[in-house]
Amino acid sequence: MYDELIVSPRVLLGPGPSEANARVLKAMTTPMLGYLDTEFVQVMGDTVGLLRRVFGTENRLTLPVSGTGTAGMEAALANVVEPGDAVIVGVKGYFGERIADIAARCGGIVTKVETEWGTHIPAEKIAEVVAKVSTPKLVALVHGETSTGVLQPLKDAIEIAHQNGALFLADCVTSLGGQPVDMDALDIDIAYSCTQKCLAGPPGLSPISFSDRAVDVIRNRKTPIQSFYLDMTLLENYWHGEKEKRRYHHTVSISLIYALREALRVVLEEGLDVRYKRHVHNARALLAGAKAIGLQPAAEEGYRAPMLTTLRIPDGIDDATIRTRLIADYGIEIGAGLGVFAGKAWRIGLMGESSNEKNVMLVLSALEKLLIESGHRVERGSAVHAASHVYAV
């Protein structure tokens, strides 16, 4: 009734999943181990050690939550926010809204700092709102906003949060492994990410890390954490308990942890700085090519996330037609606009393995051809020509 699974090859240039590294896929065929097997405990330790390096932290409470990025978001909020706590959330796109939604479900009293989609949130605006809120518990910002392609500066906001006695949370779902997070250097209290974007693994885990300051807040809660599955005090016992104190909490995703360990090895073999520069370089080439064929960036200059380029869909061009043809003729997936950008912008991800010159040239060539066919006036070869200039430097 159901045949063997056979899928068409795809060039994944959407907002994630990106193309998983072949070594990572192979790691998932490693036979199962029990969740308390000493060999698996070693794998867990390795994975946490590697994660700390990518997060730029020595935080003890660092581990992959057994769920996708949104599970990490929920774990971050459910552990520190108690009913009645004041939470300040920067909203400049879809995922800022999601943080606000989840913080409210945790009983938080949410105040939003909003700016237009495609822009960053200025530090002064955050300072202004924080000053008006009495005893803010948490200030939360999305680092790389996946819906708009904006990379939010964090430094000043972190200082504002701490000066006002609040914890600082950074959503690094899109940024981790593609741009520096530097958790300890910046003094971020809570950061979480995913595995299927710049880390080039399969989706299903959410790396998360809490500073000692955040751990203190969790230990001093007055109410129980509303989620058992995401209760960090219980997860800490399982991931970081010494010998007999290492206690079963739930059966973690063994195969995905094998995959994450391998993905992180690949990341660190390349080197973080090299990897960050690669993301910037390919994004620059993509944008140069895109502009040459009349596709304007939807994100504010100076605040563009190199792993996700948003481009305004030109007047007269049908969003769905282009995306359908990209898949049908080239197997290329790019992201549709989300929320305010639905039908108005495309999201081209160059994340992890997917961030390479081959993909840049391919997607530009394909877009140029399809735009010309759609009646968009462009000089032939201009996208590749412009991108080549970037690569020639």
Residues 225 to 244 in contact with a copy of itself, rule: CB under 8 A: 225-229
Binding residues for a copy of itself, total number by CB under 8 A: 76
Closer Cβ to a copy of itself, 203 or 314, answer by number: 203
Q: Is 382 in the site for a copy of itself (CB under 8 A)?
A: no
- Residues between 50 and 79 that touch a copy of itself (CB under 8 A): 50, 66-71, 73-74
- Residues between 84 and 103 that touch a copy of itself (CB under 8 A): 98, 101-102
Q: Is 49 in the site for a copy of itself (CB under 8 A)?
A: yes
Nearest-angstrom CA–CA distance, 211 and 213: 5
Q: Is 327 in the site for a copy of itself (CB under 8 A)?
A: yes
Closer Cβ to a copy of itself, 118 or 204, answer by number: 204
Q: Is 318 in the site for a copy of itself (CB under 8 A)?
A: no
Nearest distance in Å: CB 205, a copy of itself: 9
Nearest distance in Å: CB 196, a copy of itself: 6
Nearest distance in Å: CB 12, a copy of itself: 6
Nearest-angstrom CA–CA distance, 291 and 161: 38
Q: Could you say which of 338, 348, 364, 390 contacts a copy of itself (CB under 8 A)?
A: 338
Q: Is 340 in the site for a copy of itself (CB under 8 A)?
A: no
- Residues between 156 and 195 that touch a copy of itself (CB under 8 A): 194
Stretch that binds a copy of itself, among 121-129, 161-169, 213-221, 253-261 (CB under 8 A): 253-261
Q: Is 43 in the site for a copy of itself (CB under 8 A)?
A: yes
